[in-house]
Amino acid sequence: MNAQTPEVRSTEQLREKWMKPEVITGSEILLRSLLLEGVECVFGYPGGAVLYIYDAMYGFEDFQHVLTRHEQGAIHAADGYARASGKVGVCIATSGPGATNLVTGIATAYMDSVPLVVITGNVATSLIGTDAFQEADITGITMPITKHSYLVRDVKDLPRIIHEAFHIASTGRKGPVLIDIPKDVSAEKSLFEPVKSVNIRGYNPTVVPNKLQLDKVVQAIAEAERPVILAGGGVVYSGAHEALYEFVKRTEIPITTTLLGLGGFPSGHDLWMGMPGMHGTYTANHAIQQADLLINLGARFDDRVTGKIDGFAPRAKVVHIDIDPAEIGKNVNTDIPIVGDVKVVLELLNQEVKRSDKADAWRSQIMKWKAEKPYKYMDSDDKLKPQWVIELLNKTTNGEAIVTTDVGQHQMWVAQYYKFNQPRSLITSGGLGTMGFGFPSAIGAQKAFPDRLVISVNGDGGMQMCAQELAICAINNIPVKIVIINNQVLGMVRQWQELIYDNRYSHIDLAGSPDFVKLAEAYGVKGLRATTKEEARDAWQEALNTPGPVVVEFVVDKDANVYPMVTQGSTIDQMVMGDCE
């Protein structure tokens, strides 16, 4: 039988079909344009203002759409897809409340530089500004948290706008772009002619750095006795992990990776010091504070990394390499600023840099700190420790899974005890710290990589913010392994109230939460629970052996804290080391 049957067509044949000039509706133009941009899956939720768009999907077999159970689930899933794949994530919602339910997800992507194209419906153009039913000025509402936005008033502009939106979202410092389409525009017909080029006046991100600035970096490395590399999310987003590995190989400079940079450099490498900042390693924090040269690669000097800003890296000459010139010098004074794509910058530096013998004593000091001050916790045979659970996940997956997290203590334990060796293998809300992000982002990651193991690690608080998305895991057999670290409390808030607010525990008790096993089963998903190490090993192995989605609830020690911890107003070497010290 010929493999090329009428039902199985090549990508080129499909593209020819999609590009065929025709008079079609704005909705059909939208769907074809998305396919021509390489969109594999769209996450969304219908409503009145987007009904023409959803009507165009009917019977359109080439277009893949996942119906979530909440608009916030849709945008977090699109975000997870984008972070895992490196492609642009896409979501669709209706006007008014549908659009405003996307705002938290847009802000999450904006803070973490995630490329999204967010499509919203609006009331008909004749009704805009009249406070019509389900009208909201979504372009105005989201202006501070989008890279760019469009209100489409003419259907003829739609092909150009969609093409521009994908270009803007995926170039320079990546981020979300919003396209607001009034209902009459989605219904109006026009000749569809695909746009193949982009020419946006005033938008031309700097990719190639200034050569003179690179020469300064090479000289600074040659002279440094205590150099440190701080690698951030920009390393992952630019695909610079191989160039970074080569850079460290050539220079032998110790390296620390931020939360969003985890996986951008292999955690098993001798020169990797772990994560810096509020819950970072002793080695990374002390190295930064004693460094005479700090090379920032695509990190934005977030306050959770720097601690007390005027006491951060006080002895260091600072090099800051970033695609966004607005980040350089914003929080930390920079001695050698370099605007450019991190991957391009590193590839150019690798042609010049060399190992310096001046830093030999420094490398020895780093190795000593790593040996003497690793992450550690008080284990127990009576209580299930959350850190032990994360170690179990790491050991059974060899650190090769895609792991998404929600926000809180479990997020920091994953960062500390799961050893990431590949880029785009940790998906977490860094800048905004969005509860409810972890589980739906795992759905997006699993859609991007159907054959990879995707683990979603959640607290019992954050899991309840998007638990309804269990339905689409069951319906579509999306095999995410959903871990719930259940301590029956808002753990990170409780930790702060314990350490900073003199044990005044105010409104943190989650003891009335649902039975998560029954909740999973109500949605048609297997649910398992563990309260001891033996139960934990058995339940987790059963989850791994199950081909579909599974919820595994680990009931852990309620009083466990994340250590080390740097309290507000302290420098990052003023660390509370915890019960083990």
Pairing of strands 22-25, 227-231: unpaired
Q: DSSP character for 113?
A: T
Give me the phi and psi of 119, to 5 degrees please. Answer: -110, 125
275, 492, 565, 575: the catalytic one is 492
CA distance 63 to 85: 19
Check if 71 is active-site: yes
* Two tokens, residue 541: 């192995």
Does 564 sit behind a cis peptide bond, omega within 30 degrees of 0 on the bond before it?
yes
Q: How many CB atoms lie within 10 A of CB 578?
A: 16
Q: Which of 87, 147, 174, 183 is catalytic?
A: 183
Which residues, at least 6 apart from 477, have a Cβ–Cβ distance to it below 8 Å? 548, 549
The active-site residue out of 28, 37, 71, 553 is: 71
301 is catalytic: no
Give the Cα separation of 337 and 416 in Å (integer): 30
| Rounded CA separation 33/186 (Å) | 13
Residue 152: which region, alpha, beta or left (left: phi > 0; alpha: psi -120 to 50)? beta
**Do residues 175 and 110 make contact, with C-beta atoms less than 8 angstroms apart?**
yes
CB atoms within 10 A of CB 61: 7
Whether 568 is a known active-site residue: answer no
Q: Say which of 134, 422, 497, 574 is annotated catalytic.
A: 134
Reply yes or no on whether 166 is catalytic. Answer: no
DSSP H/E element including 19: helix 11-19
Distance of alpha carbon 149 from the chain centroid: 21
- Measured at the CA of 127, the angle between CA 125 and CA 129, to 5 degrees, comes to 100
- Residue 133 designated active-site: yes
Residues tagged active-site:
71, 133-134, 183, 492
